[in-house]
Amino acid sequence: MISFSINKTVFLQALNATKRAISSKNAIPILSSLKIEVTSEGITLTGSNGQISIENTITVANENAGLLVTSPGSILLEANFFINIVSSLPDYVLDFEEIEQEQVLLTSGKSEITLKGKSVDHYPRLQEMVTTNPLVLETKLLKTIISETAFAASTQESRPILTGVHLMLTDHQNFKAVATDSHRMSQRKLVLDKATDNFDVVLPSRSLRELSAVFGDDVETIEVFFSDSQVLFRSETISFYTRILEGIYPDTDRLLSSQFETEVVFTTASLRQAMERAQLISNATQNGTVKLEMTSKSVTGHVNSPEVGKVNEEIDTDSINGQDLTISFNPTYLIEALKAIKSEKVTIRFISPVRPFTLTPTDNQEDFIQLITPVRTN
């Protein structure tokens, strides 16, 4: 029967990270529980929603945690409820004691709270992973790659494979992440410092976004392990499992062409603001598009909604090269693409009014490329 005492703040932080994998509305009722396992070495908290699973460990060696384990054991507690209770406790230390089978007494200051739990017997087991030969990535870089690609994945379940991000390693060092919803695409490349095993997986973009939230900026590197059905991202205290999407990811390389007719360099922020104005009006039009007119002298944006009004504006450019060209597209795609670009300038290359155009950060045209499909108008 479990018995331990712990610093409330450290415990809450681990509980809140684990909670990200737990949905109170899960179709499988037991998955709304949090699993607490206590050994003489520390506590492991586990949460899962069937798609992702998070294990969070607090060891007795962690001085901030002030963890003192008197007796080991394991129990399931209703996650949301338990976390609310812990965060409401008055003192900075709490005692956690199993007083009867699956019944827990929390003591903190003058508060005594008794909670009913459940046996861990029916909680699903996480699949064991072979944790040798990891891919090691800087947390910051991994989060950047996710923020550059995950938004471009589809949110529609009609083609499930497109709701994922395609992650590949070829020639043991060439890393590539790609996402597309068939209207736009975002691709990030990277050459790894250290050779490692090749891989080719599609991970749910939603899992990757959760991953970015779960690993704090204090975690320097993350180890990544692959199995046939899932991928494990692991730091010293957190193990984050996500399932792999099944299916064949479309070949996106054939979409990229090195040829172009018109090249314009914009200031990322001012192009984005112009598109945000255009979007206010284009949302009220039938096809939701903005028209960009490029001549050798200027780039102008136009939207015309017969019901609501119209926008005409000249957009600041750093340079315009090539043919005059007029193209229409959904400004939302361009806004989201520009949000993913951290560089001050963006280079956009157009082939024709009916062919996709590409965006690259002007200061790095090799590693990060995005593609947006235009809309044919009349």
Cβ atoms of residues 374 and 355 within 8 Å:
yes
The yes or no reply on residue 110 touching a second copy (CB under 8 A) is yes
By CB under 8 A, which span of 30-38, 137-145, 178-186, 267-275 interacts with a second copy? Answer: 267-275
The yes or no reply on residue 309 touching a second copy (CB under 8 A) is yes
Which one, 313 or 363, has the nearer CB to a second copy? 313
Residue 250, CA distances (Å) to 15, 144, 243, 355 in order: 38, 23, 19, 19
- Candidates 72, 88, 92, 69; CA nearest to 80 is 88
The yes or no reply on residue 280 touching a second copy (CB under 8 A) is yes
The yes or no reply on residue 81 touching a second copy (CB under 8 A) is yes
The yes or no reply on residue 9 touching a second copy (CB under 8 A) is no
Q: Report the nearest approach of a second copy to the CB of residue 103 (Å).
A: 8
State the Rg of the chain over Cα.
Answer: 26
- Candidates 76, 192, 107; CA nearest to 142 is 192
Backbone angles phi, psi at 164, to 5 degrees: -105, 170
Cβ atoms of residues 150 and 205 within 8 Å:
yes
Please state, in angstroms and rounded to a whole number, the distance separating the CA atoms of residues 329 and 256: 18
36, 169, 315, 325: residue in contact with a second copy (rule CB under 8 A): 315
The yes or no reply on residue 123 touching a second copy (CB under 8 A) is no
The yes or no reply on residue 316 touching a second copy (CB under 8 A) is yes
Cβ atoms of residues 210 and 150 within 8 Å:
no
Let me know how long the chain is. 378
By CB under 8 A, which span of 49-57, 157-165, 313-321, 357-365 interacts with a second copy? Answer: 313-321
DSSP secondary structure letter of residue 340: T
| Token pair listed for 90 | 């008055």
30, 115, 126, 192: residue in contact with a second copy (rule CB under 8 A): 115
The yes or no reply on residue 24 touching a second copy (CB under 8 A) is no
Which one, 144 or 273, has the nearer CB to a second copy? 273
| Ranges within 170-229 binding a second copy (CB under 8 A) | none
Residues forming the site for a second copy (CB under 8 A): 78, 81, 84-85, 88-90, 103, 110-116, 270, 273-274, 276-277, 280-281, 284, 307-316
